[in-house]
Structure 1
Amino acid sequence: MSKHPKVTILLAARNGAEFIRQQLESYRAQTYPNWELVVSDDGSTDGTLAAVDEFAESVPQRVIVVHGPRQGFWQNFVSLVRSPEVSGDLMGYSDQDDIWFAHKLADAAAWFERVPEDRPALFCTRTQLVTRQGAPMGFSRVFGRAPGFANALVQNLGGGNTMIFNRAAQRALQKTPLDAAMVAHDWWTYQIITGVGGLVHYDTRASLAYRQHGENVFGKNVGLQARLTRALGLASGQMAGWNEINLKLLNRVRGELLPENVAILDLFARARTAWLPIRLWLFWRSGVYRQTVTENLALYLAAIFGRV
């Protein structure tokens, strides 16, 4: 890949006037200038589009606004991945209310220099958590285990707002059926890129300030409250519902997956419906894992009670 690949920022927007100017200014502040911005507006009725227009007139980079599908957050991002307006060598999801650190694009572009162009690849990072007003609240967890499809089946490694991927990964994502139902675009991105044998790099250096407020679709992933939320999600069966959605979609694209990942997928699916002793054996054989010992214990306890 070129040492200066163009990055297309995929910004999903809807009524984001309160924060979007700060996000746009963080694009301007990037030390890596070879980017363009494609905004998919999902029917904003506030000053969102006016802010984007003002920004477009003040930067040399290309800024394009397209109409979103108006079906929800992940549908908006999925439509951006398919947009003919995307011309970059690399693509990065962006929320409207974060603040990117100046090194975000430079770090990703440097990693992709070592990646063959025909190999699907994904770069994601840790985040700094901030309040609605932008005050620091700490950082998201550091994940230590290697990325992989067996992890992607039961956990998303990186937040979508940190993800940057290449054209080979985009082509893999574009094979998602048009009528697909999914839990979240970022989890699906992790599943597909690992499923087809792509590379995933998780950088422990935070790349953005992730604003925490009442309108977050998914909030912070750290601390006692977050751990309890995940545990309750397993106990209540919420995770089982998410897995059901993911498995149905993965089976629709199983022809794109590596054979070894199809085997993991099938073992995991069989484990979810098997009798208890066989269930645990199939889970162990599948090799699925979460990133910490505590989370893996919770996963197996959920499996015992048929909540996975």
Structure 2
Amino acid sequence: MKQPKVLIMMSTYNGEHYINEQMDSLMAQVNVETQIYIRDDGSTDGTIEKLRPYIEAYPDRIHIRSEQNLGVIRSFFELMGSSPSTFDYYAFCDQDDVWEQDKLIRAVTLLQTRSAAIPLLYCSSTQMVDQHLNAIGVWPKVPQKPLELHNALVENSCVGCTMVMNNITFNQVKASLPSEVNQVIMHDWWIYLYVSTFGEVLFDGQPGIKYRQHQGNVLGGGRDGWIQKWRKRLNRFVNGNNHYILSSQARLFLAMYEESLTHTQIEEIRSLLHCLEKSVIDRTWYAFKTPFYRQSFLDNIVLKFVIITGKL
């Protein structure tokens, strides 16, 4: 029986400390035929040197380009734009995690239970580990609310390094990659938003990767305690770091896909954006009747607060 063909897309940047463990786990994937496309985002350490033995051992399976530093979002979009459209499935990959041997085949098997005629996206919980791969906890929890537009516009419920897309998702997103990347919060959030709107998102509660938490993470997982997590959020809000990022991404999404959205979807997104220009009374009224939601009760309260302040 022919094995599914999966393209693994990895963006690297100064990842010499952990790249070997990740590459070993990628080469150990079972019951799938894999190729790995790597875009090095201008590393200044020994990342390329660490990768060279793998490239020499598997010249037909591993392809690497060393290019200028663009940042994680642009780098992954560049990978999508330059990758071939001939694979059955496509997976994002970070440089410092460790994948379970059945990570990809588990994702593919679940995706194959759904219609291949629509955009599909698999994502999962992760086994968070410290830098020495000691278990910390499982994150994120299985979402209890639907993974569709009303969630995806205001929250990313899918961790990028767990994502596996079908061919339709990859090619449709690739055909219209956002040009205003500064308005995209993260590449994985953008794809979650797209598939939740036009296809189906499948969430697997069984972790398929060891998600390493260390000081070099671009973005961490859920390792922070409750108090620390909320202190960081409050500080980011007070400092203005997250002001208007949700509305900017929503505005770009609407501009790019308005012709494909339903009338109801268009009106709901417009209502969210327009309410931010109204009085605090109007924003408060809208916040408590908005159709948009986050997964947890407390995160939903924060969403309403941000709408009321007009800083969405």
**Cα deviation, residue 117, structure 1:** 2.6
Aligned counterparts of 2:59 and 2:206: Cα–Cα separation in 1:
28
Aligned counterparts of 1:289 and 1:3: Cα–Cα separation in 2:
42
Aligned counterparts of 1:25 and 1:11: Cα–Cα separation in 2:
14
Structure 1 residue 270 corresponds to structure 2 residue 271: no
Aligned counterparts of 1:256 and 1:67: Cα–Cα separation in 2:
37
* Normalised TM-score (structure 2): 0.89
Q: 1:62 to 1:12 in 2, by over 3 A?
A: same
Cα deviations across residues 174-211 of structure 1 (Å, max 9, x unaligned)?
A: 2123343222111111112223x211011111111111
Amino acid corresponding to residue 156 of structure 2 in structure 1: N
8 Å contact kept, 1:13–1:44? yes
SS in 2 for 1:66: strand
8 Å contact kept, 1:38–1:85? no
Of residues 226, 243, 248, the one that matches 2:229 is: 226
Amino acid corresponding to residue 18 of structure 2 in structure 1: F
Q: 5 Å matches for 1:124-273?
A: 124-142=123-141, 143-174=143-174, 175-181=176-182, 182-195=184-197, 197-222=198-223, 223-224=225-226, 225-234=228-237, 236-255=239-258, 257-259=260-262, 260-273=264-277
SS in 2 for 1:239: coil
Structure 1 residue 50 corresponds to structure 2 residue 49: yes
* Normalised TM-score (structure 1): 0.90
- Structure 2: which 5+ residue stretches go unaligned? none
SS in 2 for 1:238: coil
Cα deviations across residues 144-197 of structure 1 (Å, max 9, x unaligned)?
A: 2120111111110011111111121112322123343222111111112223x2
What is the root-mean-square deviation in Å for CA atoms of aligned residues? 2.3
**Cα deviation, residue 51, structure 1:** 2.5
Amino acid corresponding to residue 120 of structure 1 in structure 2: P
**Cα deviation, residue 38, structure 1:** 0.5
SS in 2 for 1:253: helix
**Cα deviation, residue 56, structure 1:** 3.1
Q: Which residue matches 1:9? A: 8
Q: What is the aligned residue count?
A: 306
**Cα deviation, residue 3, structure 1:** 7.4
Aligned-pair identity in percent equals: 27
8 Å contact kept, 2:288–2:304? no
